[in-house]
């Protein structure tokens, strides 16, 4: 005989995000939704007159996807995102030409780093919580996001400098220094949002 408590809690357990994400259909849906989330954030941009690299929220989305989905699903979501863009879908920043051309343009290094950065964020977050049990949820997420954003920035700068034959000073001026304050803000925002989401899921 079912108690009133079991009858009330069974539906919510069956439809919980954790239970849904353990099914193949659930994982596929999360990957697709994550790729669309990154695409939406890629259209929130501020072009800068002194550099071909615009300010965008797509990298913030990459950090959040990595922290929220973990390394495996996050990597799949960002590979799907790049595949959508390469196929011509309007998922990349509208300041670029779109399609494969954008993957090999000024911002190609940033874009190609996205799957690896998302996976790195998820991996470092898990590793820190496993190896350092006393680290706070926010601190682990912030360190993971910092590692991921460092990968994005270094990949983007290296691509821009090597492919377009720029000096180190010019590369730093165009691809790194103007974005450092914003990247630190994005790391803090990603860690804060993920910590809040994690607390809500456990409530």
Q: What is the DSSP string of 8-67?
A: HHHHHHHT-HHHHHTSHHHHHHHHHHHHHHHHHHHT-EE--TT-SSPEESHHHHHHHHHH
Per-residue pLDDT at 76 exceeds 70: yes
Cα–Cα distance, 64 to 186 (Å, whole number): 10
Per-residue pLDDT at 181 exceeds 90: yes
Structural domains in the chain, CATH included, are 4-202 (1.10.1760.20)
DSSP state of 96: S
pTM: 0.87
Per-residue pLDDT at 3 exceeds 80: no
Cβ contacts of 41 within 8 Å, gap of 6 or more: 56, 57, 58, 60, 61
Average pLDDT over residues 180-189: 96
- Percent of the chain exceeding pLDDT 90 equals 68
DSSP letters spanning 110-132: HHHHHHHHHHHHHHHHHHHHHH-
Of the candidate ranges 113-117, 164-168, 190-194, the one whose mean pLDDT is the lowest: 164-168
Q: For position 6, what pLDDT does the model report?
A: 42
Cα–Cα distance, 104 to 34 (Å, whole number): 23
Per-residue pLDDT at 118 exceeds 70: yes
Angle at 187 between CA 185 and CA 192, to 5 degrees: 95
pLDDT digits (tens, 9 = 90+) for 27-43: 999 999 999 999 999 99
Q: For position 12, what pLDDT does the model report?
A: 41
Q: For position 48, what pLDDT does the model report?
A: 86
Of the candidate ranges 5-14, 27-36, 71-80, 164-173, the one whose mean pLDDT is the lowest: 5-14
Cα–Cα distance, 45 to 61 (Å, whole number): 13
- 3-class state of residue 101 by DSSP: helix
Cα–Cα distance, 170 to 128 (Å, whole number): 36
Q: What is the mean pLDDT of the chain?
A: 88
pLDDT digits (tens, 9 = 90+) for 127-159: 998 998 889 999 999 999 999 999 999 999 999
The backbone torsions φ and ψ at residue 86, rounded to the nearest 5 degrees and listed phi first, read -65, -30
């Amino acid at each position: 005989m079912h108690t009133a408590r079991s009858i009330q809690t069974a539906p919510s357990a069956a439809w919980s995000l954790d239970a849904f994400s353990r099914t193949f259909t659930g994982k596929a849906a999360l990957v697709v939704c994550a790729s669309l989330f990154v695409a939406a954030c890629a259209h929130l941009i501020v072009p800068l007159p002194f550099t071909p690299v615009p300010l965008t929220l797509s990298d913030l989305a990459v950090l959040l996807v990595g922290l929220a989905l973990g390394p495996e699903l996050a990597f799949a979501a960002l590979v799907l995102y790049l595949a959508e863009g390469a196929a011509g879908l309007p998922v990349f920043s509208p300041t670029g030409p779109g399609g494969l051309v954008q993957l090999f343009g000024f911002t190609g290094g940033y874009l190609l780093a996205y799957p690896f950065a998302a996976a790195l964020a998820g991996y470092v977050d898990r590793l820190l919580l496993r190896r350092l049990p006393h680290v706070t949820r926010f601190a682990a997420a912030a360190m993971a996001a910092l590692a991921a954003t460092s990968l994005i920035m270094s990949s983007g700068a290296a691509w821009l400098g090597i492919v377009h034959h720029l000096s180190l000073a010019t590369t730093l001026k165009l691809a790194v220094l103007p974005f450092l304050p914003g990247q630190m803000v994005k790391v803090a925002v990603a860690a804060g949002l993920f910590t809040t989401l994690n607390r809500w899921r456990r409530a």
